[in-house]
Amino acid sequence: MPKPTRPVSAATVPKPVVPRHRLEVGTISHDDLVQEVNMRKAVEDKLRRSNDGIKMLYKELVKTNAQLKEFDQRKDDFVNNVSHEIRTPLSIIRESISQVSDGLFGKVPAKQKRHLDKSLVNVDRLANIITDLLDVAKIENMKLQLYKAKVNMTSLVEDVVSNFESKVKAKGLELKCELPDTDVNASIDQEKVIQVFVNLMSNAIKFTQKGHIRISIEEKDDLVECHIADTGRGIAQEDLPKLFNKFEQIGRHHGSAEKGTGLGLTISKGIVELHGGKISVASEEGKGSTFTFTLPQNLLHEGVIQNLKSVLLSAIEKFNQFTVIKLNVDVPKDQLKAQSALVDKLIRACLYRKVDDVVQDGRKIYILLPGTKKADCTVVIERIKRELKQHDNAKVHLDVQVTSYPDDGLTEDELIWKLLSEEERA
Amino acid sequence: MKTLLVVDDRSDVVEVVKSRLQANNYQVIVASDGREGIKKAQQYKPDLIVMDILMPNYSGGEAVKVLKSDAATKHIPVIFLTAAASSVADGEEPGRVCVDGQFYPALGKPFKPEKLLFEIKKLVGD
C-alpha cells in the first residue's frame, strides 16, 4: 500500500516564523510578542484556507471520478454488446454450414465437405478469439472479477489432470502428477485458476511430441507453487521475453495442427497476477519447458482491505464527516469462526442507525459511523463493550482504535493507513 | 415423438435450430420472445424448452421464472442457448445459468449441435 501523503504539501507550508530580532533570554518585549502572535495567527489562517481549498479540490476530484466511472461502465457495456452481436450471427453461420456439411439437405461430395469443415473449424476459432479478447480486455481494465473461495488445490489439480488423460495418452505421452498427500488450500477463484491450468496443460501437450508432461504443486511459506513441465520442443531464449505478449504465437511457423488464439498465456498471466501471484517460464530448446506460477494461500486480509477501501470511499463521497472504530477482538484461534459470527451479530445490534456499516476481518472489526465526531463515538464503544461483556466476558477482549474523517485523513488510503497496525502495514 | 419449444428473438436462429432438431426427429414449435414462449409452453406443454436469454418482452430468465411458478409448466426442463458471453464459457461441460437459485444447463452461441442434441437427449430421451 502506498504511504498516504499529508494533505498539505511542503510547497504550501509557509516557512517557520523566526522573529526578526533574536531575543535575549528573559527580555521579550511586548511588541515582539504581539508581532509573533499575529504572525502565527496569519500562518494558521493561511494553513486553514489552503486546507479548505484542498478539501474542496478533493470533493471535485471525487465528482470527476464518478463521471469517469460512468464512462468506463458504458465502455464495458459496449464491449459486452459487441461480443453478443458477433456471437449471434456466428451461431447462424456455424449451424448453417454444419447442417449442409452433415448432409441434412442432401449428400455433399467429399471435396465440398472438406471445405465446409474447414470453415467450421475457423468459425469456432473466431468464437474462441472473441471470448479470449473479452477476457484480455477485462484483465487489462482490471475488470476481471475474482470470486475467491477456499479451494483445495490438490483435488483441483487432480480434476484438471483427469480431464487431460485421454488426450495425453492419444499422443503417446506419459502424464506424471506429483501432488502432496495432504490438502493444500488457497484462497482463489476456482474457475479462473482451472483456466490457467488448462491453458498451460494444452500448450504442454501441443508442443510435446515424445516424453512426458509433469504437473506438480507444493506449499512454500504462504504460497502454493504450481509447475507444468514438458519434454517438448522448448522455447528459444530470444523468444522467452515475448512469450506472455498478446497474439505472440511462438513457433507458429512450425505449423502446429491445433491453432490457439495466441491469448492463452496473456490471460493466464493476468489471472495469476490478479490473484497476487507470479508466473514464469524456464526453457531449453529441444529439451522442454517448465511453467511455474504461484498463488497466495490466504488473501483474506487483502480482500477485506479492498472492501474497507470501497466502504470508506463511498462514505467520503456521501458524508462530510464520519468516524471509523476499529476493534481488535481477542479470541483463541480455534474459536474464531464461532465467535466472530456472534461478535458480528452483537455489534450490529449495538448500531441503531441504518447508515452505520460493519466490515469484519477475522479478529478485526471496522465500524463506520457517518456524521459522527471522534468525541461522540465513545457512547457506541461503551455500548458495544457492555453488550460483549454481558454475552461473553471470558473469551472476548477488546482493543479499540478510532479514526475520523476529515480530521485524521482526507482519502480512504490515508484513513486505512491510520487504522492499520505496524505489522498490518508491512 | 417429443415436442420441443424453441424461443429466440432472432428468426434466423430459430430457423437453424428448428431444422437441426427436426432432422433429429423432434417435433418443433417456436416463439419469438419470452412472452410468446410462456404462452406456447402453457398451450402445448412441450417436453423441453430451448431458451434464449436476451430477448424483448420477458427475457429468457424472466420467462423461466414464470413457467416455474406455474404448476402446469414447472416440470418442463429448460436448456438456455445464449450469446451472452459472461453467462457461458465454452468448456467441455455445458455451462450453467442460475434462475431463482435453480441451475439450468446452458450452451453458448455459436453452439455445437452435437452438444445441444446430447443435452436434450439427457433430459427428454430420443
Question: What is the ipTM score, two decimals?
Answer: 0.89
Contact A199, A240 (CB under 8 A): no
Across the interface, of A80, A95, A131, the residue whose CB is closest to B20 is A95
Cis peptide before A370 (omega within 30 of 0): no
Query: How far is Cα A281 from Cα A372, in angstroms, rounded to an integer?
Result: 53
| Beta carbons of A295 and A186 less than 8 angstroms apart | yes
Q: Which residue has the higher pLDDT, A286 or B3?
A: B3
Q: Are strands A174-178 and A212-220 parallel, antiparallel or unpaired?
A: parallel
Distance from CA of B92 to the nearest CA of A (A): 9
Q: From CA A157, how far away is CA A163, in angstroms rounded?
A: 10
By DSSP bridging, strand A322-330 and strand A397-405 are antiparallel
CB-based contact A83 B85, cutoff 8 Å? yes
- Do the Cβ atoms of A339 and A331 come closer than 8 Å? yes
Q: How many angstroms separate the Cα of A48 from the Cα of each of A34, A35, A38, A53, A350? A: 21, 20, 15, 9, 36
CA A193 vs. chain centroid, Å, equals 14
CA separation for the pair B120, A400 (Å, rounded):
60
**Side chain identity at A388, as an amino acid letter?**
L
Question: Do B83 and A84 make contact, defined as CB atoms within 8 angstroms?
Answer: yes
- pLDDT 10s digit of each residue in chain A, 426 long? 455 544 545 445 555 555 555 555 566 788 888 999 999 999 999 999 999 999 999 999 999 999 998 888 888 778 778 888 888 999 999 999 999 999 999 999 999 999 999 999 989 888 888 888 888 888 877 777 777 777 889 989 998 998 899 889 999 999 999 998 888 888 888 888 998 999 999 999 999 999 999 999 998 877 899 999 999 988 888 888 888 887 766 655 554 445 677 788 999 999 999 888 999 999 998 899 999 999 988 645 666 677 788 888 888 888 888 999 888 777 665 666 666 667 777 788 888 787 788 877 666 788 888 888 888 888 888 888 888 777 765 466 677 888 888 888 888 888 888 887 766 665
Q: Is A29 helix (H, G, I), strand (E, B) or coil?
A: coil
Please give the Cα distance from B55 to B68 (Å, whole number).
Answer: 18
Which percentage of chain B shows pLDDT scores above 70?
A: 91
Query: Does residue B108 sit at the A interface (CB-CB below 8 Å)?
Result: yes
0.90 surpassed by pTM: no
Q: What is the pLDDT of residue A426?
A: 52
* Chain A residues inside the 8 Å CB shell of B12: 92
CA of B83, closest CA in chain A: separation in Å? 5
Contact: A131, B12; criterion CB under 8 Å: no
